[in-house]
């Protein structure tokens, strides 16, 4: 009977694995859909303003909400994929233990930033929830909902990357 294949613990964590992969794909789908909708809203705004000389008031706040959604959820998906802050040049030339430490550090920074975005986004969302947004039937603080959700996903995805990296490491190298 052959022994189990040795796992290179310094190899990158595969992005499309783990229980959170469907959530990351959903974040990318929502972010992409928000970008497509943003283009439509902006096109309507330009056509209405310059073609019909009657600019609707709802297009600008809607565009800002869609932009916030695309950026926040796209960034969260990028954290899941490992396409975020990193020491790429240094990491590629480092020994396996230093490489794993650099990857852990980059993921911890992403987790910390995600936690800050989630917390303060939620604080700002709650703080301005009772104020109506000019031009749209939404709360003034609705732009902070995607920021808070994206930050929470960044935190979860970064911590999951660290967990999966260490679960793959051989027993003696932890």
Higher pLDDT, 123 or 85: 123
- Checking 19-23 for CB contacts under 8 A at 24+ apart, the result is 20/80, 20/156, 20/157, 20/160, 21/80, 23/80, 23/153
Residue 12 pLDDT level (bands cut at 50, 70, 90): low
Q: What is the pTM of this model?
A: 0.83
CA distance 90 to 68: 32
Query: Mind listing the pLDDT tens digit for each residue in 44-88?
Result: 999 999 999 888 889 999 999 999 999 999 999 999 988 877 777
Listed range (8-22, 35-49, 114-128) with the worst mean pLDDT = 8-22
DSSP three-state, residue 16: coil
Domain ranges of the chain: 21-173
């Amino acid at each position: 009977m052959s022994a189990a294949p040795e796992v290179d613990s310094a190899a990158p964590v595969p992005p499309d694995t783990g229980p959170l992969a469907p959530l990351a794909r959903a974040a990318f789908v929502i972010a992409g859909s928000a970008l497509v909708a943003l283009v439509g809203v902006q096109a309507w705004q330009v056509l209405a303003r310059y073609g019909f000389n009657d600019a609707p008031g709802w297009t600008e706040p809607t565009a800002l909400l869609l932009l916030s959604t695309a950026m926040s959820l796209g960034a969260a998906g990028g954290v899941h994929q490992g396409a975020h802050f990193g020491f790429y040049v240094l990491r590629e030339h480092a020994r396996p233990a230093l490489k794993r430490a650099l990857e852990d550090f980059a993921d911890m920074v992403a987790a910390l930033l995600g936690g800050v975005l989630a917390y303060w986004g939620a604080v700002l969302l709650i703080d301005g929830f009772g104020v109506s947004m000019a031009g749209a039937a939404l709360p003034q603080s609705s732009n902070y909902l995607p920021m808070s959700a994206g930050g929470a996903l960044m935190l979860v995805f970064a911590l999951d990357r660290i967990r999966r990296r260490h679960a793959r490491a051989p027993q003696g190298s932890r």
